[in-house]
Amino acid sequence: MKTISLLFIAITTTGFAIMSCNSCKKNVLPPITDTGANTFGCLVDGKVFRPGGAQLSGGSLQCNYQFFNNSYYFGLAGSNQTGGNLLTSVGIYTDSLRIFEGNKLSLKLRDKGNPSGSYFKAISAYQYELYSTGNNLNTGELWIKKLDTINQIVSGTFWFDAVNANGQKVQIREGRFDVRYTR
Cα 48 from chain centroid (whole Å): 10
Q: Using CA atoms, how far apart are residues 40 and 78, in angstroms rounded to an integer? A: 7
- For residue 107, give the nearest of 119, 97, 117 by alpha carbon: 117
Q: What is the pTM of this model?
A: 0.81
pLDDT in tens, 36-78: 999 999 999 999 999 987 555 556 999 999 999 999 999 999 9
Could you tell me the sign of the dihedral formed by the alpha carbons of 30, 45, 174, 97, in that order? positive
Q: Using CA atoms, how far apart are residues 84 and 66, in angstroms rounded to an integer? A: 34
Average pLDDT, the chain: 83
Q: Find the range with the poorest average confidence among 3-17, 61-75, 167-181.
A: 3-17
Residue 137 pLDDT level (bands cut at 50, 70, 90): low
